[in-house]
Every structure is written in structure tokens, then in C-alpha cells.
Structure 1
């Protein structure tokens, strides 16, 4: 008999098409979506694979979902965790408990839990009003990282070097209805962790894990390409470039962090900074990491959307050993920090023909307007594979020098920008 799975969908780590591939063939899906522009646009696509409930009211949504007699509940998006927790409580379905959910969705509570468990001590201070700023700076020192307590996708995340600029940012962000992912969210100021020189690669990694009844199994350590200012990602790859000793260190740190926040069941995506003094925790995420399912399918033939769904339904999932094979990569290009309109993309046909590239996919068409800002908004993605991680840098360098983007900025100002230069705009 087919079990019914509640899927709380929002903009995040899994597209409706990926969810359909992972779940539709074996589970009966009921989708619950908050009423926002993205989810309402995706609702017709989701409806092809199961009923869609728009959660104007959480209690009304729970009552409607309850009529389908659900057996489990899952979400693959950071934005969906809060709603998923509320629904699970009303429906009596297994999910993260209240403490764990608070640690996973509030960065200040997460830092407090990590500190209490002795896992990692990063100086951090919560900021609810501008009056909290002087004490926060005294706690963390400068430079520091200012970001929403409930955040994601590098939205409103800033590198702060001087107190005056930081205070102006605090005032502006707290004046917004939702500086992060929730209305009225507060801010945190965190100690800045300087990274070590990692050459062509980024100075951080993520650990992708499957957690079942408190037992943590790592599927892969994900390598990263360098960020562009202030904290915007540009790509990821399997396996990471770390040696055996450092791989063991980051895995041990990630496992301790997952346990410290109380995550006992589901998928986790833990980010770790590579500093001159050793690995340090960036954050623990209790959901699928962005782009990770695609790497898992290509590299290991395992669908993590399916794995997350089966775990939510109480099934056991077999997790293969830590990935160490061929190098599979994704490179993407963030839109400029300046507001503007994409006029065109040049060089795509040449990138598609590069050795090692298997796919080039634009996400934005000419005429697309971008609001600007520090959040990561992807223009496109380049995927590929090669025999070894050491072969990645030359391929990515060719991609970055070949792709060029033409933007029109306010007052009719137009510029053509190479992929390698996008981070400066």
C-alpha cells in the first residue's frame, strides 16, 4: 500500500521537478506551500504530482492535510522548516523537536547550543535593536559578520570592518519587515573566521550526511569554489580536495555539531571553514544542501530527495561509503550586487564544447531584471566531470574567461562583464 508523504515546499534546495523524480514513483505526495510569489507560481507544477494545500492558516492547512491520512512529513528547503515543524505538531507526525528546530532556524540559538556542547566557540551576539550594537562589537571584535538570525542564501549577510558602517547596516536591516526568512527577524553579529589559502578552491567545505535514529552517515565532503564578496557562493564539487587527515577532522566536527543541535533523523548539510588554526563551524543545516542531490545522483546514483522521503516515512536507507571517486562539479555565476537588467550572455556555445563540461544551463533570459544586493542569485550553471579534482581548476578557468554577460544599469549605462569579474560588480 502506498504511503502518503506531506512535502512542505518553498524556494530552496529542491525544485518541484527534482521532488517529482525522487518521490512521485513510490509515494503519495501532498504538498503544503506558504502563500508567496514563488510557491504560487510553482503550485500548478506541483499539482501534477499530488494535491497542493496553500497554508494561509497553519491550522486550516493541517485539517485539510489530515484528511489525506499522512504517514510522514518532510521539507527540503530552509524556508520550509518552521512551517513543517508546526504542521508536524498538529498532525502528530515525527519531525525535529522544538529545541532542535529552534537551533536549526535561529543562528544565535545554534551558536549557543554548539558552545554549550563544547563543539565550537565562535563569538556571537544577538542584535534586536540598534542599542545592542556596541555590546555586540565588544563581544565579537571587528572585522565581523552581520547577518539575519533566520537567514539563508547569503541574504543580508555583510562583512563589517568598522563600527560606524556596521551600525548603519543594523539600523537599515532592522527597519526592514523581514531582514531574513521570517517577519520581524533579528540579527546576529559573529566573529569573522579568516580562511587559509586553498589555491584555486574555496576556504570552506560542507559535509553531507544522512541521520537515522541519531546515527550519522556521511555521504560526501563537498569542495567549494572561491566565494565572491561578501559571501556569495560560486560552485561546488565532489569529492573535496582535502587529504585524509583533514577530511577526518571536518567530519568529526560536523558530526559533533549535528549531535549538539539534537538532529536525530533526516538530512544534514554542515558548513565548515578551513582556517590556519584548523576547521571551524560555519553552520549546521537540517535539510538537503543546494545542488547536492544532483551531485549525489551523478556520482553515486543515490537520490537524496527519495532518501529524505523514505526516512520521513520510517524506512531505513542504506548510505554508501564516503565518496572518493571522479570529480563532479557545478559552477554558477551570481548576479551583480548592482541593480540592473541582463541584456545578453556570450560564449555559451563555446563553454558547452569545452572538454569536461557536460551541461550549460542559463537561469536568466535577456530582459531579466535583478534587484541587486548581497544575496546569491544565480544567472546560470555549468556542470561537468573529470578524472580528478586536480583537473578542475583549468576547466573552471576556461569557463570563467569564456562566458561574458552584458548588463544595463540605471541611466542606460551598459557593461559587458566576464564571468571571472562578476564578483566585483
Structure 2
């Protein structure tokens, strides 16, 4: 009889269909969700693959789960980590303990733990009220990065270069009911880490690892395409473009960081900035990174959703050697920071004929209203492959020159509408 696996689901997780592909053929899945618009919308789909329990109480969730006699618990969502830890504790199932979840989800606690362990010393200050602003700037200096203590997806993440403008941002963000992933959450101001020039690629990477009984095993280092202002991602690829020595230093920093935070089991996604002085830590995430499973399936034939599920059940599943093979990529295009209407995307058919492109998928259609903001909101994604990262860079440049995006802007009700047409390479400036 299949083992029973509890899957705590929330917004930001792997898609229910991808979870089903990774788990449903070999495990008995029972889903747990907290009440929210997204989870209510996904419940009919989740229920096709197993029972769904919706509750905001970990104690109630545990009571309703016990009749299923669960063998393990997993989540693929940053938002769900805390709730998953509470449910796992109530059921006495292995998972991150509460202190570890705190260090994984609170950027201040994480920086404090890493500093105490001597792993990384990025200057960081917690901001609970606007009265904390002056001390924060004194500690970190400017420029600095302002963001929610509990956050993700670049939501409300800003580069601050002016004291007065930064204070106004702090006041505005703290006035929001939910500046990050939790209601009433604090902010952090972090030292800005300048990156080194990597040509056509971004100045940061992420390290994808699996942790079993405290032992960290790296699966791959993910290369990135350059961010667009302020901190919006534009894509990722395997393998990284780094030379062996720098890649090893990034992996060592990621391993020490994961260990310092007390992670004993599960997938980790550790972001590393590549500075002129060497790799520095951006943050450790205690879950599957966005888009990483798709790269792993294509590059390795390894489903990381399944790997995480089997690890949660205590199964000893072999992992392949660290990936350094053919280049596989995902290139996406973020919506403008100003509110707008998408009028159309041109050049799609030409991009599809590019020999290095295997898939073009739109996420927004003509007429879609785009709310604006600094969070990453993808308009589309281009996937493909190449013999190596040098050829990958050529393909990406061709795609960026071919795709063209048309928008209509009206900065306030009744204002004159202006239109703009830009290539993929120019889109990030909007």
C-alpha cells in the first residue's frame, strides 16, 4: 500500500498538476491548505489527486489528518513553511522545527544566525517602525536594499540611495496591512552588494541542494539572466556560467549557510551574489526554487518534487552527480513597473522557429490590465536548450531582439493614454 504524504499547499508552490506528476503515481497524497482566494481556486484541481483539508488551525488540521495515518509531510511553498511546521509538530512528523523555520522565513533572523555562525557578515537592520530608520541607515550605509522581513518574488523590494526617499518608502510599506508574506510584518534594510560583470549573464546564482539527516548534497548551480530594476528576475539556466573555482566557493558558502540555519531535511534554494570580492549570501530558502524542477526534469530526468516527497518519507533515494552538462534555459519577461494595459506581443512565431527554442508560453493576453509594481510578474516564458552557455547567450540575445511588447499607459484616471512599444531587451526599463 502506498505511503501517505501530507502536502501543505499555498500560493507560490509548484503547480498542482506538477505536484501530481511528481507524487500521485506512487504516494497517497492528502492536501492541507489555509483559507485564501488562491487555495480556494485551486481546491477543485487538488481534489482530483487526493483529499483536501482547508483550515487555518494547525491543531484542527492535525486532528483531521490523523485518520489517514500520515507517514510524512512536505511543502513546496514559502508561504506555507510556518503552517507546515506547526502541523508537522502536532503530528510528530519530521520537518523543519519552529526555530529553523523562523530562520528560513525571517530575513533578519537569518542574517543574525549566519553572522553568529561566522558564515556571512552582510550588514542588516530590522525596521519595525519609522523610528528605526536612522539607526538602520547608520548601520548599513547607502545604497542599501529595503525589503519585507518576510517576503518573496521581489515584492516591495527597493534599492535606496537617498535617506529621505528611503524614509518615505518605510512609512508607506509599514502602513500596508501586508508589506510581505505576513500581516503586519517588519522590514529589513540590508547592505547593497555590488556585483561583478558577467557579460550577458546575471551577477548572481542559486545553489539547489537536497538535505538528508543534515547532510547537504548539491544538485546544480543555477545561472541567471540579468535582473532588471529594481530587483526583478528575467530567467535562469543550468549549468551556471561560472568557472570551477568560483562555483565551488559559491557551493561552499551555500552549504555552510544551510548548516548554520539548522536545516536537517528537504530541498534548499540558496541565492548567492557574485561580487568583485567573491561570493556573498543573498538568502537561503527552505523549499524548491521557482522553475527549478522543470530544469531538473529536462537536464537530469530528475523530478525534484518527487525527490522532496520521498525524502520527507525517509526513503533513501539516490541523487545524480552534480550537473555540468548541456545548457537548458527559461527566459521570461516582467511586466512594466507602471500600471498599464498589454496591447499585444509581436515576434512570437519567429521566436518559435529559433532552433534553440523548444517552447513559448504566454501568461498574459492582449487587453490584460497589468497593475504595475516592483514585484516580478511574468508576461511570458521562453524555454530552450543549447550545447553550452556560450550558445545559450546567443539564443537569448536573438529572442530579446525579436519579441516586441506594446503597452498603453494612463498614470491616473482621466489622464491622456500613451502607448509604448519595446523589445524584450528594452522591456525591463519600463
Same fold judged by TM-score > 0.5?
yes
**What do the CA deviations read for 1:36-77 (whole angstroms, capped 9, x no partner)?**
222211111111101111123332222222222211110111
C-alpha separation in 2, matches of 1:84 and 1:347: 44
Q: Which residue of 2 is the match for residue 202 of structure 1? A: 202
Please list, as runs of the form range in 1=range in 2, the aligned pairs for 1:339-358 lying within 5 A after superposition: 339-358=339-358
C-alpha separation in 2, matches of 1:108 and 1:379: 32
Please list, as runs of the form range in 1=range in 2, the aligned pairs for 1:163-174 lying within 5 A after superposition: 163-174=163-174
Please list, as runs of the form range in 1=range in 2, the aligned pairs for 1:71-220 lying within 5 A after superposition: 71-220=71-220
Please list, as runs of the form range in 1=range in 2, the aligned pairs for 1:19-418 lying within 5 A after superposition: 19-410=19-410, 411=415, 412-418=417-423
- SS of the equivalent of 1:221 reads strand
CA contact (8 A) 2:344 2:407 kept: yes
C-alpha separation in 2, matches of 1:75 and 1:57: 17
CA contact (8 A) 1:337 1:373 kept: yes
92-101 vs 250-259, greater mean Cα deviation: 92-101
CA contact (8 A) 2:114 2:261 kept: yes
- SS of the equivalent of 2:151 reads coil
1:421 equivalenced with 2:423 (yes/no): no
C-alpha separation in 1, matches of 2:342 and 2:32: 33
- SS of the equivalent of 1:396 reads helix
C-alpha separation in 2, matches of 1:352 and 1:262: 45
C-alpha separation in 2, matches of 1:283 and 1:52: 32
**What do the CA deviations read for 1:267-320 (whole angstroms, capped 9, x no partner)?**
000010000001000000100000000000000000000000001111112111
| Structure 1: gaps of 5 or more residues | none
**What do the CA deviations read for 1:178-222 (whole angstroms, capped 9, x no partner)?**
100011100000000000011000000000001100111100011
* Deviation, structure 1 residue 105: 0.5
| Structure 2: gaps of 5 or more residues | none
Count how many residue pairs are aligned between Structure 1 and Structure 2: 425
C-alpha separation in 2, matches of 1:349 and 1:56: 46
**What do the CA deviations read for 1:233-264 (whole angstroms, capped 9, x no partner)?**
00000000111111110111100000000011
Distance 1:13 1:238, change over 3 A: farther
* Deviation, structure 1 residue 13: 4.3
C-alpha separation in 1, matches of 2:83 and 2:369: 30
CA contact (8 A) 2:82 2:98 kept: no
CA contact (8 A) 2:89 2:97 kept: no
TM score, norm. by length of structure 1: 0.98
* Deviation, structure 1 residue 408: 2.1
C-alpha separation in 1, matches of 2:92 and 2:357: 47
CA contact (8 A) 1:13 1:289 kept: no
* Deviation, structure 1 residue 367: 2.5
C-alpha separation in 2, matches of 1:190 and 1:276: 18
Distance 1:367 1:38, change over 3 A: farther
**What do the CA deviations read for 1:316-335 (whole angstroms, capped 9, x no partner)?**
12111110110000000111
The alignment's C-alpha RMSD in Å is: 1.0
205-214 vs 59-68, greater mean Cα deviation: 59-68
C-alpha separation in 2, matches of 1:281 and 1:34: 31
362-371 vs 202-211, greater mean Cα deviation: 362-371
- SS of the equivalent of 1:299 reads helix
27-36 vs 408-417, greater mean Cα deviation: 408-417
- SS of the equivalent of 1:67 reads helix
- SS of the equivalent of 1:248 reads helix
CA contact (8 A) 1:13 1:291 kept: no
TM score, norm. by length of structure 2: 0.97
C-alpha separation in 1, matches of 2:219 and 2:13: 17
